Amino acid sequence: MTRQPKTGTCIFCDAEGSLEGEHVFAQWLRKALGIPGYRKHQVRLGPALHVARQWSKPVATSRVWCVCRACNHGWMKELEDQVKPHLAPLARRGPVAVPAPAAARLLVAWAFKTAAVGQEMQPNRLKPIDSAARQYLTFPRPALETTGDHVRIVR
Ligand SMILES: [Zn+2]
C-alpha cells in the first residue's frame, strides 16, 4: 500500500507544499447521519485480488492528503459551513425542500468538491474530475446556474 504524500500539489489551487488531510465526508455529516460502529476495510490488488492491507476504523472517516491549508481552512470550510444547514436535514430526515437556486448551488458545489476529494483516495487511479474542472470551485467562486433540474457551473 502506497502512503499518501504529505507534500505535493493542492488539487484545487495548484499550490505546492504541505498538504492537509481532508475528510472525504466531513465529521459533522457523519454525526448528522448517525453512522455508528466500525467497518472493516481491505485493499485488494492484482488479478487474484489478494488482500494487500486490511484494517478496521469508524465508518466514513477516510482522509486524503490533497489540499493546501489555504483551501482547506478557506473556501472549503466556508462551503461546509454554508451547506450544513441544508445538507444536515437531508441526511437526518431524507428529502426536504431547499431554497433554490441558492441552496441548490451550495449542494452541487459541495457534491462536486466531495467527489473531487474522494477520487484522490488511494489506490484509486480513475480521476474523471480533472484539474480544469476543479478550478471552478476555487475563487473567484463561479456562478452555478440552475434551470429546471439541471445545474451548470459557469464562469
Ligand atoms: Zn489549495
pLDDT in tens, 112-150: 999 999 999 888 889 888 888 887 776 555 455 555 555
The more confidently predicted of residues 13 and 137 is 13
132 found inside a domain = yes
pLDDT confidence of residue 148: 55
Q: Structurally, how many domains does the chain consist of?
A: 1
- How far, in Å, is the centroid of ligand 1 from the Cα of 50? 36
2 is a domain residue = no
Q: From the CA of 26, how far away is ligand 1's center (Å)?
A: 17
More confident residue, 15 or 37: 15
Amino acid letter at 65? W
CA of 133 to the centre of ligand 1 (A): 14
Q: CA torsion angle for 50, 53, 54, 58 (degrees, to 10)?
A: -140
Q: Which tens digits make up the pLDDT trace of 52-94? A: 999 898 877 889 999 999 999 999 999 999 999 988 888 888 8
In angstroms, what is the span from residue 67 Cα to ligand 1's centroid? 5
- Residue 39 inside a domain? The answer is yes
**138: in domain:** yes
Q: How many residues does the chain have?
A: 155
Residue 107: partners with Cβ closer than 8 Å, 6 or more residues away? 83, 86, 87, 98
Range of the domain at 63: 7-154
> Does some domain include residue 56?
yes
Q: List the grid coordinates of 77.
A: 470550510
Q: What local confidence, expressed as pLDDT, does residue 154 receive?
A: 46
Question: Which residues have a beta carbon within 5 Å of ligand 1, which is an ion?
Answer: 10, 12-13, 15, 68, 71
Q: Which residues contact 43 (CB under 8 A, 6 or more apart)?
A: 1, 51, 52, 53, 54, 122, 123
Residue 15 within a domain:
yes
Bridge partner residues of 44 (DSSP): 51
Answer yes or no: is 148 within a domain: yes
In a domain, 142, yes or no: yes
Model pTM score: 0.75
CA of 54 to the centre of ligand 1 (A): 31
